[in-house]
Amino acid sequence: MKRITILLALVAVCWCDALATPASTNSAAASRVLMIDSSSMPVAAGEATLIIGPLQRTNGVYTGDYKLKVFPYFLKNEKGRLAIVISDESLAEASQGKVVSITGTATTTKTGKSRPITAIATPVNRDHGTLKLSFTAGTRKMTFEPAYHFAGKPLVLAQATEIKP
């Protein structure tokens, strides 16, 4: 009888802790690095390639470096910083397989000029999917369709316990 009482007390404590802990919208994706594959599109007698470095998330914004290489028009090449806004709600929707609209900005390091970016994320599963990323360069609308994935393991917070001899 004493064992059953102890077991019930432990279950009650665990149940109360579970009810008190707020559910995370998608902590796995929110704490991991967003990787976007290189993507190319044709331009007059050449090709433009968008290369985006790893994007780290802080306060709902993924930031990182980008390069736009235009062959054979190397004078049109640019590089800079990318900031993509993805809210916790959007991450949760994407992890459920829903298509999500995303906005952001690209700021060149050469001139400091910013341009708006729009994207549609189409998830394949919780960790992978495709983007349709668009922005205007000069008077031309540029559209790239890279794949994306979340890299690294999700951050797991463990509760430390003190063991007394």
- The average confidence (pLDDT) of the chain is 80
CATH of the domain at 107: 2.40.128
Predicted confidence at residue 137, as pLDDT, reads 83
pLDDT tens for 60-96 read 999 999 999 999 999 999 999 999 999 999 989 998 9
Tell me the average pLDDT across 87-108: 93
Q: Report the C-alpha gap between 68 and 38 in whole angstroms.
A: 10
Is 48 among the domain residues?
Answer: yes
Is 160 among the domain residues?
Answer: no
Tell me the average pLDDT across 47-63: 94
Is 47 among the domain residues?
Answer: yes
Tell me the average pLDDT across 132-160: 79
Is 125 among the domain residues?
Answer: yes
User: Quick check: 72 and 45 in contact, CB under 8 A?
Assistant: yes
Is 79 among the domain residues?
Answer: yes
> Is the pLDDT higher at 42 or at 12?
42
Is 15 among the domain residues?
Answer: no
Whole-angstrom CA distances from 130 to 15, 21, 39, 69, 147 are 39, 33, 11, 21, 4
Is 86 among the domain residues?
Answer: yes
Whole-angstrom CA distances from 7 to 10, 15, 35, 69, 162 are 5, 12, 46, 64, 21
Count of domains for the chain: 1
Lowest mean pLDDT among 26-35, 59-68, 107-116, 154-163: 154-163
Range of the domain at 127: 27-151
Predicted confidence at residue 25, as pLDDT, reads 41
pTM for the structure as a whole: 0.73
Lowest mean pLDDT among 26-30, 70-74, 131-135: 26-30
Is 139 among the domain residues?
Answer: yes
